[in-house]
Amino acid sequence: MPIAEYRSKCVTADDAVKVIRSGDWVEIAFAASVPGLLDEALAKRKDELYEVNLRGGILITPLACMESDSTGEHFTWNSWHFSRYERNLAKRGLAYYIPVKYSEVPRYIRENVQTDVVAIQVAPMDDHGYFSFGTSTSHYAAAIEKARAVIVEVNEDMPRVHGGYDHIVHISNVDYVVEGGHRGLPQLPSAAVCEMDQQIASFVLPEIEDGACIQLGIGGMPNALGQMIAASDLQDLGIHTEMLVDGFVDMVEAGKVSGMRKQLDRGRIVFAFAAGTQKLYDFMKDNPSLAGYPVDYTNHPFIASQNDQLISINSALEIDLTGQVCSESAGTNMISGAGGQLDFVEAAYNSKGGKSFICLPSTYKDKKGQINSRIKALMTLGSAITDTRPAVQYVVTEFGKINLKGLSTWQRAEALISIAHPDFREGLIVEAQKLKIWRRKS
């Protein structure tokens, strides 16, 4: 019986983490799914462990392990996608980014990287012996396949989430169970929406039609668009996304989402992981309209593109005059990561009636208080290219919207300069002339 096997595997967090050895790679935390008791227990073992590589991403709460070791001799953080906390760890030499195309992460785990121990948080076991991964389906099933040992920390507050596949683990595939009681989930409040976000979103909203299938990234602009969709006359929208955020709940509660025109997972909200406020976590609890999938399903361009009118909306840090997009670093300093942006840029363009939007404010203020253009003649030295120039479709700033598909280099430069901040347009024209990508028309 599952319950007997469950009881036989119950141990304390301190006992469970004894399975971790020096030199191990441990898959441990991702977004809202953080095994706090296991993290704290592992931190206690700091002085007896060396070169333990912890792996996860999008940390929205500090890790005791990383806070316990200022030297990096004992624990090193390896991230699929940086958060603000992880950026700070990186500045201290304690964290490193893993370049990814997010749809490929389960394959990386199965074929390329070392995974010795999985230590993750799950929802309580059901009557059939299954634990739901809850807020983070993502790549956990692949990690469990490869691990020497699997530890689950049961959080009574983790929502049990319905899924497609690889969203659960059976007690027979678990080595240790740690009961965590009610621990809550770390919350990620929606980014504040400013007037500029609203202006950019207002250029995108008219491109969305009834029955469209929506993917939103994270940030003020996607949040603004979610609010606008919730207040619009749009109907029968679908959702197929990597990250489930509060904005989608607003759209559902406003009656804008039915999913009945989707070609895949009809009537269901498809996602790989979730992070937001308690409103989102409450919405997720045993909700049959949700379908948590591994990221090689949600983000695979061939799969996602099978939904007609797939609309992908993502943010960027800068773009050069040929259309290359950076969404992950400021020069050599990692800000976030590639995530699934390129996955959905490709998927939306290949969807029947689909559209991909890269959205960014036209300027930013640097540490000296100076205003700089995000549209640049050349990328900042060291900036990572997230989306190659042939892949990019629509680019939107507060000054307008352009479509780069099929444009030559001079046309691209002209189009991008047209949506740059007016104060920088003449300077960009001069730079474009030096690069020989400006064609002066009579």
Q: Which two tokens stand for residue 422?
A: 């007016």
Residue 381: which residues within 8 A CB-CB, separation 6 or more?
331, 332
Place of tokens 């976030």: 336
What's 355's DSSP letter? E
* Spatial separation of the C-alpha atoms in residues 374 and 359, rounded to whole Å: 11
Residue 183: which residues within 8 A CB-CB, separation 6 or more?
36, 37, 155, 156, 157
Q: Of 270, 227, 275, whose CA–CA distance to 247 is shortest?
A: 227
Q: Of 249, 116, 110, 106, whose CA–CA distance to 167 is shortest?
A: 106
Residue 233: which residues within 8 A CB-CB, separation 6 or more?
none
* Spatial separation of the C-alpha atoms in residues 19 and 119, rounded to whole Å: 10
Residue 209 among the catalytic residues: no
CA 300 to chain centre: 14
Selecting among 104, 153, 242, 431, the annotated active-site residue is 242
Q: What is the DSSP string of 266-329?
A: TT-EEESEE---HHHHHHHTT-TTEEE--HHHHS-HHHHTTSTTEEEEEE-SEEETT--EE-SE
Dihedral in degrees, nearest 10, Cα atoms 259, 261, 263, 268: 10
CA angle 311, 316, 322 (to 5 degrees): 95
Q: Look at strands 329-330 and 333-334 and give their pairing.
A: antiparallel
Residue 270: which residues within 8 A CB-CB, separation 6 or more?
164, 239, 240, 241, 264, 291, 293, 297, 298
Q: Are 222 and 230 in contact (CB under 8 A)?
A: no
Provide the sign of the torsion angle of the four alpha carbons 124, 127, 131, 135, taken in this order: negative
Q: Are 267 and 289 in contact (CB under 8 A)?
A: yes
- Catalytic residue ranges: 242
